[in-house]
Amino acid sequence: MVGNPTRNRIAERRAATRREILDAAWARAREVGIASITLRDIARAVGMQPPSLYSHFDSKNAVYDAMYGEAWADFEEHATRELDRLPEHPRAALRHLARDFFDYAVADLARHQLMNQRTIPGFEPTPASYAPAVRVLDRCVVLLAAQGVTDRADVDIYIALISGLIDQQLANDPGGDRYARLLDRAIDMFADAAGVPPLPERSPARRTALTRK
């Protein structure tokens, strides 16, 4: 009879400690800003001395790198689920993709700053942590092409348009919807310029019925 494989309890404890450190780093980032976290504060939060952190992360940038890779991997998983709900009409699909990323970004300022802005001087993600972001962008290019947006300049404008509205929302109306309400309109303006077919008009009878209510 073959017994159960021996558990690697040391590896399990190290993984649990690493998880605790990252959770503390995220919590602190949401309190003081992503660029203001310190190893001392993280160590205090998990009940260890700062030098002990170096047995898990060799620098603060290594903590950032793990957070960056985790954030993009989480979004990649989230976005993959959302593809099952992608509307068939090209313009509706463009709206859906934009709304999905917009809502994900504005839900967490610290995460957005780490994922999408150069907030931390000197930090560059490692290739392994950057890989999920590359895969998401490549998938975005393929999806936009399927909606008729094939010119790379148009792809760049689409991404920049969404990113700009995200930044405005977070900077000028955090927790509100001032710029969230403009997203569909902005995407329609983009779609008009890119030659994406408009959504079908509602029938006159339907519009009349709505008017009477």
Whether the predicted pLDDT of 7 surpasses 90: no
- Report the pLDDT value the prediction gives residue 151, as an integer from 0 to 100: 96
| CA neighbor of 144 nearest in space, from 86, 84, 81, 74 | 86
Whether the predicted pLDDT of 204 surpasses 90: no
Tokens 């999905």 sit on residue: 100
**Chain segment 16-48, per-residue pLDDT in tens:** 999 999 999 999 999 999 999 999 999 999 999
Query: Which range, of 5-14, 167-176, 192-201, 202-211, averages the lowest pLDDT?
Result: 202-211
Average pLDDT in the chain? 90
Confidence of residue 197 (pLDDT cuts 50, 70, 90): very high
- Report the pLDDT value the prediction gives residue 12, as an integer from 0 to 100: 79
Return the higher-pLDDT residue of 40 and 212.
40
Whether the predicted pLDDT of 129 surpasses 70: yes
**Chain segment 162-179, per-residue pLDDT in tens:** 999 999 999 999 999 999
**Chain segment 131-165, per-residue pLDDT in tens:** 999 999 999 999 999 999 999 999 999 999 999 99
List, by residue range, all CATH 1.10.357.10 domains of the chain.
59-198
Superfamily (CATH) of domain 9-58: Homeodomain-like (1.10.10.60)
Please state whether the predicted TM-score (pTM) of the whole model is above 0.75: yes
59-198 to CATH, choices 3.40.50.1000, 2.60.40.10, 1.10.357.10, 3.90.1150.10? 1.10.357.10
Long-range contacts, 136-145 (Cβ 8 Å, 24+): 136/72, 136/75, 136/76, 136/79, 139/79, 140/97, 143/83, 143/86, 143/93, 143/97, 144/94, 144/97
Whether the predicted pLDDT of 9 surpasses 80: no
Confidence of residue 11 (pLDDT cuts 50, 70, 90): confident
Residue 9's φ and ψ, nearest 5 degrees, are -70, -30
Instruction: Determine what percent of the chain is predicted with pLDDT higher than 70.
Output: 91
| CA neighbor of 79 nearest in space, from 98, 66, 65, 92 | 98
Confidence of residue 5 (pLDDT cuts 50, 70, 90): low
List, by residue range, all CATH 1.10.10.60 domains of the chain.
9-58
- Report the pLDDT value the prediction gives residue 52, as an integer from 0 to 100: 87
